[in-house]
Chains A and B, each alone.
Chain A
Amino acid sequence: MIGPGYQWLAHLRRSPLLLFVLLYTALSGGPFLWVAVMSLRTTPEIFASPYALPSHLHWEKFADAWTRSNYSTYFWNSTIVVVTAVVLLTVIGAMVAHCLARYHFRGNRVARFVILSGLILPPQLLILSLFQILLEFSLYNTLTGLILVYVAGHLAMTVYILEGFFAQIPQDLFDAARLDGYSDLEIFWRITLPIGAPALFTTVTLNFIILWNEFLYAVVLLTEDDKRTLPLGIMHFMGSHQLDIGMLATGLMIAIAPIILLYGFFSETMIKGMTAGAVR
């Protein structure tokens, strides 16, 4: 047993870990704080002294970005695209994962391989063919086209996470529900989804964050200004000869606000969902 006199020794032993955590926090949180500070300063102020704290808080920049730079349209477009894609991904992904985890049908392994092979394909590889396909189906430069691309591109990861979790739900629960009189679809709805909620929250949060920030597909598949999503809108503040860094920082803060809110609400559930496989 360590006496009170030796507690400093225990603290000393933990200090390298503490140092590492502080360093990591500074590295990851520092740039974020810098952008947050810059979002409240004007571009001349920033160029004069890049790392200074704001002498005056320019909250009006947020209203400017929202109204004068078409940000409301970009925000609305992003919301439509990402919410629809995440809903579709969750519903389709959960159904696919439930089938792969629960039913032993002919071709089960081939189906799993084909779906999960999407994990290993880099988006740069697919973008040309996707561009061509969307053109042929008149979906190029439409939000619907981008939604479909997002759903197709992220289904593999969604199924991968959900299947791992669903496979751990004991078969007896499904058998009990069958004997209680429920059909396969009802069992999916009433047993798999509620029990798999932590994993569903994980995929919803992850997909939302990734798709909200997605740039590559959006920049290739959308060209009209009123169809653009937020990551493209931010580009407005970056001209070929000048950079409005103050407004860029303000735009970035608007763009990441929903992500921070989402993560704040669901981070605990998300971590639970991602580590569920490790603790069993």
Chain B
Amino acid sequence: MGEVALNGLSKRYPGGSDLAVKEVTLTVADGEFMVLLGPSGCGKSSVLRMIAGLEPITAGTVSIDGKVINKVPAKDRDIAMVFQSYALYPHMDVFNNLAFGLRRRSVPRGEIERRVNATAAKLGLAPFLKRKPHALSGGQRQRVALGRAIVREPKVFLFDEPLSNLDAALRVTTRNELIRQQYDIGITTIYVTHDQVEAMTMGHRICIMDKGEVVQIGPPLAVYRDPVNTFVARFLGNPPMNLMRVALETDVGGLRLRLGKTAVPAEPWPADRLGTLGSGALLGIRPEDLYEASPRPGDDSVLPLPATVAAVEPLGAETLLVLTLDGIEEEVIARSGRETRLRPGERATIMLDSAAAQLFDATTKRAIARTPV
């Protein structure tokens, strides 16, 4: 068992006037893989360090399996952590790095050898057990750091940006390795990253943080599809969601959202909520919901937008189009197939899938929920 619950967790660093972490409340279920995602300085690592017991808690509680552990020293929390720098003991070989934590817990020598060898075999480290960390590659060091956590068989794993020191190719393979290991072992995992690809691919749920606060928690695709505010909308997705200012207008067909020269139907959102939008709204649309192809006949939600191509960015698998929509100042980005023939300066008609669009209050930046169907 290893359910981790944070209740109103806050942190103020000595000399700091503001809270670095503000009343974070979340529960990570036993065996769950939770990713804390946010920009640098958003407080996600502070949360992790408070869970680990490496940082004093200013307010709130951390519980494991219902037991508050605020006063329990780090060494007695039964938590293993993988650090960004790996933190391998440079004076010990791989075997001793793996065995160090077990020795302190008075595990019998034979059992230590069995567990270290089993972990090394699982992670492909068996040939390197006698090597010191300086004689290992970055990927091997990362696996030793992971092995040091696994061999302890703790209640909770904590990962603090463990892949950020690896090169791009190694990061992908190690990421898959981590997902597989967590799936096999099934230990509750809290993983801190600022890399949205890691968050989307690894977590059962993502907790997005900004300025010390939890902004949104949910399964990766749910958070991607329904961001609660413009911060999440822009932070998740690469390229990020396009946000375009729209004005509300009423015509014979009812409420409309005026996007340049195009009128977007406003039926998906509650009319009474739209009526409260004083300074207008922001229409959010993901680049993959703007495309070149013609709509299927009868697909009323797809609207044509006249535009001028500002730039074409071929990425190999796909091509990004930077567009200036008629009557709109902001440039938007659309995903297109790799075979696009559009060139900068050309006119184009881009299709907008309004069924996938999000609407945000321009003042509060919060999403406006759609009317339940």
Contacts and interface: CB of A to CB of B under 8 A. Distances in A.
Nearest to A186: B104
A175 B52 contact: yes
A194 interface: yes
A175 B83 CA distance: 9
Q: Is the interface of A mostly helix, strand, loop or mixed?
A: helix
Contacts of A178: 53-54, 73-75
A21 B54 CA distance: 52
A60 interface: no
Nearest to B52: A179
A179 B105 contact: no
B87 A172 contact: yes
Contacts of A176: 81, 83, 87, 89, 148
28 contacts: A170-B85, A172-B83, A172-B85, A172-B86, A173-B87, A173-B89, A175-B52, A175-B54, A175-B87, A176-B81, A176-B89, A176-B148, A177-B89, A177-B100, A178-B53, A179-B52, A179-B77, A179-B79, A179-B81, A180-B75, A180-B152, A181-B76, A181-B101, A181-B104, A182-B104, A186-B104, A195-B89, A195-B90
B91 interface: yes
A180 B99 CA distance: 10
Nearest to A104: B14
Most buried by A among B73, B76, B87: B87
A186 B148 CA distance: 19
A191 interface: yes
A180 B75 CA distance: 6
B91 A181 contact: no
A179 B81 CA distance: 7
Interface of A: 104, 170, 172-173, 175-183, 186, 191, 194-195, 197
Q: Is the interface of B mostly helix, strand, loop or mixed?
A: loop
A172 B49 CA distance: 11
Contacts of A197: 91
A37 to B, nearest CB: 44
Contacts of B89: 173, 176-177, 191, 195
Contacts of A195: 89-91
> Which 9 A-B pairs rank lowest in CB-CB distance, beginning with the nearest?
A180-B101, A172-B87, A181-B104, A176-B87, A194-B91, A181-B75, A178-B74, A172-B83, A172-B85
Interface residues of B, number: 27
B75 A179 contact: yes
Most buried by A among B90, B105, B152: B90
A135 B136 CA distance: 59
Contacts of B73: 178
Nearest to B149: A179
A136 B152 CA distance: 57
Nearest to A195: B91
A116 to B, nearest CB: 23
B206 interface: no
Interface string B85-127: 1110111000000001100110000000000000000000000
Given A175-B54, A195-B90, A195-B91, A182 B83 contact: no
A177 B87 CA distance: 9
B259 interface: no
Contacts of A181: 75-76, 101, 104-105
B80 A179 contact: yes
Interface in B5-59: 14, 49, 52-54
Interface in B280-307: none
Most buried by B among A104, A177, A183: A177
A54 to B, nearest CB: 48
